[in-house]
Amino acid sequence: MDSAIKQKIDLHGVTCPMNFVKTKVALASLAAGDLLEVILDEGEAILNVPRSVKEEGHQVVQVESLGEMFRVVIRKG
């Protein structure tokens, strides 16, 4: 799957709502169907960003725990 990922952004330490803003900026530069990998902190970030991403019509295809962080793969809708 990694080989298909078009862009990766590390949002460790980036709080709400700027983590969602940065995710939207990254998604805006991709084409529909492209994969984006986002690193998000536990807590508020991982609770809110994937939900907001889904509300905008994108798909969360993978969520992997990396200890205090999460690796989330999003397919642009």
Partner 1 sequence: MPLSEEQLERFSRHIILKDVGVEGQEKILRGKVLIVGAGGLGAPAALYLAAAGVGTIGIVDGDVVDRTNLQRQVIHFTPDIGKAKVISAQEKILQINPGVAVQIHQERLFAHNILDIIRRYDFVIDGTDNFPAKFLINDACVLARKAFSHGGILRFDGQTMTYVPGSACYRCVFLQPPPKDAVPTCAQAGVLGAVAGMLGTIQAAEALKYLIGKGRLLTDRLLIFHALTMEFRTVRFQRNPACPVCGAHPTITGLQDYEQGTCDLRKPR
Least gap, CB of 63 to partner 1 (angstroms)? 21
Residues found near partner 1 in the complex (CB under 8 A)? 17-18, 20-22, 24-25, 28, 52, 55-56
Residues involved in catalysis: 16
The answer to whether 62 touches 72, Cβ cutoff 8 Å, is yes
Strand, helix or coil for residue 19: helix
Of residues 15 and 65, the one with the C-beta less far from partner 1: 15
Of residues 4 and 13, the one with the C-beta less far from partner 1: 13
Region of 7 on the Ramachandran plot (φ > 0 left; ψ -120 to 50 alpha; else beta)? beta
